[in-house]
Structure 1
Amino acid sequence: MLEYVTDAADPRLSDYTRLRDVELRKSLEAERGLFLAEGEKVIRRAIGAGYPIRSVLTTRRWLASLEDVLGDATVYVVSDEIMSGIAGFQVHRGALASMERLPLPSLDALLKNGARRLLVLEDLVDHSNVGAIFRSAAALGVDAVILSPRCADPLYRRAVKVSMGAVFSIPYARMDDWFTGLAQLRAAGYRTLALTPDQSAAPIDSVEPADRVALLLGAEGDGLSSHWLEEADQAVCIPMSAAALSNGVDSLNVVAAAAIACHGLMRAER
């Protein structure tokens, strides 16, 4: 159903209010049980993953590209100027969609679904990093992602955009308790590997194969907490070159580290 809107303040567009106000968006999206998908490809992936559409905001010239997947959804059509004014930025991919969130599985339920390779993120609060890690996880054979209680929301617009919709294709759950979370993983049969820049740790691609493995990643800068490092079954590292170490480069950013570590786990399994 098409509805043409000529005023950015129209209450019908309230799902799209002040998209650059992170704190407002967090509270609004949690309160209404929604998230935003940006661009044709991401919207299609969200719909394909079963997320119901609340509404779509687009301009006339982008209507045809989404017609085949929108069905009877409410589509608000605005001018380019209004679109930029509402979004606060140029929407190069043509459309925004307000989507209904689906119930998040409990950690216990996720651990029982047969996942063999987990990524476990401790206190990653940067949405771009979380989105990029989901994209690497989906590409490199990770079965599911576990978030500590303070991790950023994978369905926040920036995370969804950076992941290119990978947040819809890989299951995830959030721990109820950070302190006992790793014990819960071990009780479910997972061997926990803590990624650290410490070069005395075992190289990631040399670890002994295990039926179930959970790779722990810490926040940018601080890395894993001492509690999780001590609780993990084994510390692992990405070997750095001697030249890098001599120049004081002893680690990678968390996104690059996640991708290399996931690939290292795949090599270790061969």
Structure 2
Amino acid sequence: MAELVEIGSADDPRLADYRDLRDVELRKHLEAEHGLFLAEGEKVVRRAVEAGHRPRSFLMAPRWLDGLSDVLATTDAPCYVVSEDLAEQVTGFHVHRGALASLERRPLPALEEVLEGARSVLVLEEIVDHTNVGAIFRSGAALGFDAVLLAPRCADPLYRRSVKVAMGAVFALPWTRLPDWHGALLALTRRGFTTVALTLADDAVPVEEAVAGVDRLALVLGSEGHGLSPRWEETADRRAIIPMAGGIDSLNVAAATAVACYVAARR
């Protein structure tokens, strides 16, 4: 069972994993260097541990101990018990969900492992906003997609904000980084997937039409600003659009993903 350790100082070195959570660049460096990620909130902490991620430690206000007692009983990792004011001093924001956990990252699985048995996958290119990445994972998991593939420059699905927005879906949906950005879509086609890119290209057809009759689908999504690169737009097997009304040309990438996933799940 986790050892409960009461801490009364924000300078305590044992709290290093939880410092300055609003500093994105600092957190990226720290988490990569130490091979860790953070989960926030009772449900997300529980889902991370149940998914097999090994806890390094927990940080909780006293009122959250009972709700996570069963999780704490499964590990020898320390649980640092602090006041809510102290938690805010350490993290840099009000931890209104009361509980945080620092967990060990696992090595990313090989592409072959992630795609084994998959019928529907999401493929992300240069989506750099952590909130969008988390929302995309949540939509994919909710609407029956089997995996997510990320180009090298996509935001980290295990960054705290991504995990929080995804409500733990990043632990339920297999994912990995694509080893070859340039030939990624052609490689998926060779593996038997039909790559359908969401884009405003002139030859794009409504998404219902683009996914009709497709067995193994790879739904391809581009960045928040300029969308897909010309390389990925051109090498996709099909190009699709979500028809808009009222002169609006597109949706936010997370909203567009939800719509396209809903349509694709019913193909």
**Global fold match (TM > 0.5):** yes
Q: Note if contact 1:192-1:215 (Cα within 8 Å) is conserved in structure 2.
A: yes
Does 2:64 correspond to 1:65?
Answer: no
Deviates more, 1:15-24 or 1:122-131: 15-24
Deviations 1:130-161 (A, max 9, x none): 00000000011111000001000000000000
| 3-state DSSP of counterpart to 1:41 | helix
- In the other structure, the counterpart of 1:13 is 15
Deviates more, 1:77-86 or 1:130-139: 77-86
How many residues align structurally?
262
Selected match of 2:244 from 230, 240, 244 = 240
| 3-state DSSP of counterpart to 2:68 | helix
| 3-state DSSP of counterpart to 1:54 | strand
Does 2:165 correspond to 1:162?
Answer: yes
Does 2:174 correspond to 1:174?
Answer: no
Deviates more, 1:32-41 or 1:68-77: 68-77
- In the other structure, the counterpart of 1:54 is 56
Does 2:83 correspond to 1:84?
Answer: no
RMSD between aligned residues: 1.1
Q: Percent identity?
A: 59
The TM-score, its normalising length taken from structure 2, stands at 0.95
The TM-score, its normalising length taken from structure 1, stands at 0.94
Identify unmatched segments of 5+ residues in structure 2: none
Once the two structures are TM-superposed, the CA of residue 73 in structure 1 deviates from its matched residue by: 2.7
Q: Note if contact 1:199-1:239 (Cα within 8 Å) is conserved in structure 2.
A: no
Once the two structures are TM-superposed, the CA of residue 181 in structure 1 deviates from its matched residue by: 1.1
Q: Note if contact 2:53-2:105 (Cα within 8 Å) is conserved in structure 1.
A: yes
Deviations 1:9-62 (A, max 9, x none): 111111112111111111111111110000100001101111111100011121
Deviates more, 1:92-101 or 1:65-74: 65-74
Deviations 1:214-252 (A, max 9, x none): 0100011211111101000010111112xx12xxx1111
Separation in structure 1 between the aligned mates of residue 8 and residue 194 of structure 2, nearest angstrom: 56
Q: Note if contact 1:115-1:143 (Cα within 8 Å) is conserved in structure 2.
A: yes
Q: Note if contact 2:84-2:98 (Cα within 8 Å) is conserved in structure 1.
A: no
Deviates more, 1:177-186 or 1:118-127: 177-186
Identify unmatched segments of 5+ residues in structure 1: none
What stretches of structure 1 move > 6 A for 4+ residues in a row? Answer: none
- In the other structure, the counterpart of 1:26 is 28
- In the other structure, the counterpart of 2:117 is 114
Q: Note if contact 2:59-2:101 (Cα within 8 Å) is conserved in structure 1.
A: yes
Separation in structure 2 between the aligned mates of residue 46 and residue 4 of structure 1, nearest angstrom: 23
Q: Note if contact 2:19-2:92 (Cα within 8 Å) is conserved in structure 1.
A: no
- In the other structure, the counterpart of 1:201 is 204
